[in-house]
Structure 1
Amino acid sequence: MPVIAGIPITPATARLYFAVQAVAGAMWWILVPLSDDVRRVTLGDLPAGLVAAFDLPFFVAASALIAAGARWAIWVAVPWTTIVAVGMAVYATMTGLAGWGALAMVVAAGASIAAGIVLLCGRAPVEWLVTGPLAFRPAARVGTRALLARTGLQTLFFWGTFLLVIPLVVSFVEARWSLRIEVPLVVHLAGGALLTTATALGIWSAVSMSVDGDGTPLPSQMARRLVISGPYRYVRNPMAVAGIAQGISVGLILGSWLVVAYSLFGSVLWNSVVRPLEEADLEERFGSEFVEYSRRVSCWVPVRPAAFRAL
């Protein structure tokens, strides 16, 4: 059973989420006519009465019905929330208004889709994340030089996507939706220093994976040997540590709290959902060797050399 931030993801948890969503939505609609500030930052110039006529039954009431056990209401609340999120995002991007409302609905849409899937499947189908091209498979025996080349291409693609393209889009949206919070110069400089350190750790980890593990960081081309050398002597997942630190550092460089939040959310998702699947695969392939390694070396906190010298 996957656990995120200490909360088990079950159908009961999903129904609880829809209950919270219904209450939050109802409270918001109470505040809208009472506060010009709430209406302005969440609806902009949109006609509140017209939006409420659809949102109260399709979002608030449908979410409450799901929480009460009416599964059919999933097909009302989730599509409506998604449509509103897309519409609000387009509206906020075009006008620069209602940014906080757009952000709230985008988050609600993502959470509603996830909770709806859990309810329809009767569980959290986390194995979907490691199927198809992302399924765990050992790398082919192609030689160290070819593996290093593949690792380099993978690294360029993933870093370019998750550390450049997505953060730039998120930062643009943050500014356009008037969500930007100005930060002092020292924050940008700290981000640059952290990015340099984290990138060095990421490169060291990737090279160790190819040279010592006979594989690549990609799940479909995993190491054929258990890697316990290089940075893996100090922490079990140096590549994840590097990636999370890089994401946060890019957010600091851009002065974007949304990019930092996106990186932290990704770390929670990886640690709660992907890591257990990956470590189960490693234990199945390497048995007691991995069990002993995971017992001696922490997932996140580096250990002292004396703690792993016996490996």
Structure 2
Amino acid sequence: MQALAGAGWWAAVFTLPPVREATLGGLDPVLVAAFDVPLFVVGSALVAARVRVALWAVVPWTLLVAAVMTVYATLTERAGWGAVLMLASAAATAFAAALVTFGRLPGEKLLIGPFGFAIAKSTGRIPLLAQTAAQIVCFWGLFLVVLPAVIVWFEQRWRVHLALPPWFGAAGVILFVAMTVIGLWSAYTMSTIGRGTPLPSAMPRQLVIAGPYRVVRNPMAVVGIAQGVAVGMVLGSWLVIVYALCGSVIWNVLIQPHEEADLEARFGDDYRAYRDRVGVWLPRIPSVRRAEASPSATRGDPAHARARRRR
């Protein structure tokens, strides 16, 4: 797909002047193509054909071009779409290279620092609430204020801003407020019932299935992504919305499987029953058959308890 996309883009560059101006600006297309076609287009095709040594050409070249185009677009205010496309291509190349090299996406390499798994050390309610509040201020401030502001600056500088419907702003405010309330509720539930924090570095001591956790398995992740989308709507920035949605993919693919494996190892059958009953992103409507088969559906049934005692 990457090789075909690159070939299609070069065909458009040489046949459509607006595409050439939007993606290359004043750069000489013949000179750039002399390097990019063999190193990116042909190299990607070779990797797809299982010639893995071509990775050593494709990955460094793609990262270099992405960096050069970012600097060029920022300094000249031209070829902004080229910078956006090359940054997306660099990310796709990195993911593809990981799949080719490891046969999977090594998400465990991200589980360091605040994302490394560890049980919360404190058990006091007030310290845990204070720690959770500090986490919210730091992470929401970084991911919902600082990074979106940087993205909007580049979006304007690169002249890739797109006009969004006027009602987006008001809808974004409503969405942000609603998600913030749910996020604070989730964090409070995690601290008071689970005796932990939302961050993996201070994980709960008890399995939390109360509050928003009755509806989805990780409401804090859902809230964070929705808040990011809401910020993009308020700012009128399509790039911020894409940034938030990319965050959902990264979390779902790289972090969530390891987090759920850890929860299953610590809480066993209780977590497996919870996982089977509650969705990750969207609420599930349980069928009658599933409800009857679920351990949690019968755990509180007196008749079931008497039958189990007889057995």
TM over 0.5: yes
Q: Tell me the distance in 2 between the aligned counterparts of 1:60 and 1:303.
A: 43
Name structure 2 gaps, 5 residues minimum: 301-311
The match for 2:205 is 224
The corresponding residue for 2:21 is 40
Instruction: After superposing the two structures, state which structure 1 stretch, 298-307 or 118-127, moved more.
Output: 298-307
Conserved 8 A contact 1:194-1:245:
yes
Conserved? CA contact 1:234–1:304, under 8 Å: no
Which deviations, in whole Å up to 9, do the C-alpha atoms of 1:91-126 show, x marking residues without a partner?
111122111111111111111122112222343222
- Segments of 5+ residues of structure 1 without an aligned counterpart are 1-19
- Provide the rounded CA distance (Å) in 2 between the counterparts of 1:183 and 1:71: 42
Correspondence for 1:239: 220
Partner of 1:255: 236
Q: TM-score, normalised by structure 1?
A: 0.88
Are 1:96 and 2:77 an aligned pair? yes
- C-alpha contact (below 8 Å) 2:105/2:254 kept by paired residues: no
Contact 1:209–1:217 (Cα < 8 Å) also in 2: yes
Q: Which fold has the larger relative contact order, with Cα–Cα distance below 8 Å and residues 6 or more apart in sequence?
A: 1
Q: 1:109 to 1:196 in 2, by over 3 A?
A: same
Which ranges of 4 or more aligned residues in structure 1 deviate by more than 6 Å? Answer: 304-311
Secondary structure in 1 aligned to 2:201? helix
- Residue 281 and residue 239 in structure 1: after superposition, are their counterparts in 2 closer, same or farther (change >3 A)? same
2:186 aligned with 1:205: yes
| 1:304 CA drift (Å) | 7.7
Percent identity for Structure 1 against Structure 2: 51
Report whether the alignment pairs 1:58 with 2:49.
no
Secondary structure in 2 matching 1:140: coil
CA deviation vs aligned residue, 1:219-258 (integer Å, no higher than 9, x gap) = 0110001111222223222111211110110010011111
CA contact (8 A) 2:169 2:235 kept: yes
SS of structure 2 residue aligned to 1:185: coil
What is the CA-CA distance between 1:131 and the residue it aligns to? Answer: 4.2
User: Following the alignment from structure 2 to structure 1, what is the Cα–Cα distance between the partners of residues 98 and 257?
Assistant: 20
Shift of residue 135, structure 1, vs aligned partner: 2.2
How many residues are treated as equivalent by the alignment?
A: 292
Give me the whole-angstrom Cα distance separating, in 2, the residues matched to 1:303 and 1:35: 48
1:113 aligns with 2:128: no
Matches within 5 A, 1:228-307: 228-302=209-283
Q: Tell me the residue number matched to 2:104.
A: 123
How far did 1:67 drift? 1.8
- Deviations 1:267-299 (Å, cap 9, x if unpaired)? 122223322221111111111111222233332
Please report the TM-score for the alignment, with normalisation by the length of structure 2.
0.88
> Cα offset for 1:202?
0.5
Q: CA shift at 1:142, angstroms? A: 4.2
Measured on the aligned residues, the alpha-carbon RMSD in Å equals: 2.1
1:294–1:65 distance in 2 versus 1, CA, 3 Å = closer
Q: 1:159 to 1:133 in 2, by over 3 A?
A: closer
